[in-house]
């Protein structure tokens, strides 16, 4: 079960938020065009679903090494050097993620302290602001997995996982 969760956690979350976004947006368009009526909550649901979609998608991209990168040098180095460069990149990205996680968590705590709520849904903003620390937390988890995978490749001299390429 843990393997399935590890493989598909982001996919399932992305599917849920994407379906929520598309369904709500379709309902709101129909309501606006046919009934000449729209709601404030619909726009907020779409906005916050998109925010969660973006941050969880970023973590999924880290897992698959699908982020945009300049990898011209990678074609000219051996497997050990390539693994070392990926490890360096993961460490830099992890440092940025730790800083971002700290500051985004600080924002969540401030929102919780003052009890801010969204304008349309009247729901605590904590639930929406949590998208950023959740995204960076998942990103750190995936970076740790990537780091261990690359460390193993460096030790064994095997080819490093490069993810799926968009263009060949």
Show the tokens assigned to 166: 């968009």
pLDDT one-digit tens code per residue, 39-69: 888 989 999 999 999 999 999 889 888 877 7
Is residue 164 situated within a structural domain? no
Range of the domain at 84: 2-156
Is residue 50 situated within a structural domain? yes
Show the tokens assigned to 153: 């490749």
Is residue 110 situated within a structural domain? yes
Averaged pLDDT in 10-residue chunks for the chain of 168 residues: 81 94 95 89 92 93 81 83 89 96 96 93 94 95 93 87 64
Is residue 6 situated within a structural domain? yes
Return d(Cα 97, Cα 140) in angstroms, integer.
7
Is residue 43 situated within a structural domain? yes
DSSP codes, 6-21: HHHHHHHHHHHHHHHH
Return d(Cα 77, Cα 89) in angstroms, integer.
15
Write down the H helix ranges in 36-130: 40-64, 79-114, 126-129
Is residue 167 situated within a structural domain? no
Return d(Cα 159, Cα 118) in angstroms, integer.
48
Is residue 161 situated within a structural domain? no
- The tally of domains found in the chain comes to 1
**pLDDT value at position 157?**
82
Is residue 55 situated within a structural domain? yes
């Amino acid at each position: 079960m843990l393997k399935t969760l590890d493989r598909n956690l982001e996919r399932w979350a992305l599917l849920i938020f994407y379906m929520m976004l598309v369904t709500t947006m379709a309902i709101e368009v129909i309501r606006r065009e046919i009934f000449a009526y729209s709601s404030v909550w619909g726009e907020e649901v779409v906005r916050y679903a998109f925010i969660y979609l973006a941050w969880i998608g970023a973590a999924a991209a880290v897992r698959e090494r699908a982020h945009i990168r300049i990898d011209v040098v990678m074609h000219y180095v051996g497997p050990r050097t390539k693994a070392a460069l990926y490890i360096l990149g993961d460490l830099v990205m992890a440092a940025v993620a730790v800083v971002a996680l700290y500051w985004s968590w600080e924002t969540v705590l401030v929102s919780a302290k003052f009890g801010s709520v969204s304008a349309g849904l009247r729901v605590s903003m904590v639930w929406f602001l949590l998208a950023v620390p959740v995204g960076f937390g998942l990103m750190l988890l995936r970076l740790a997995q990537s780091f261990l995978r690359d460390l193993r490749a460096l030790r064994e001299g095997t080819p490093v996982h490069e993810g799926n390429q968009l263009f060949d």
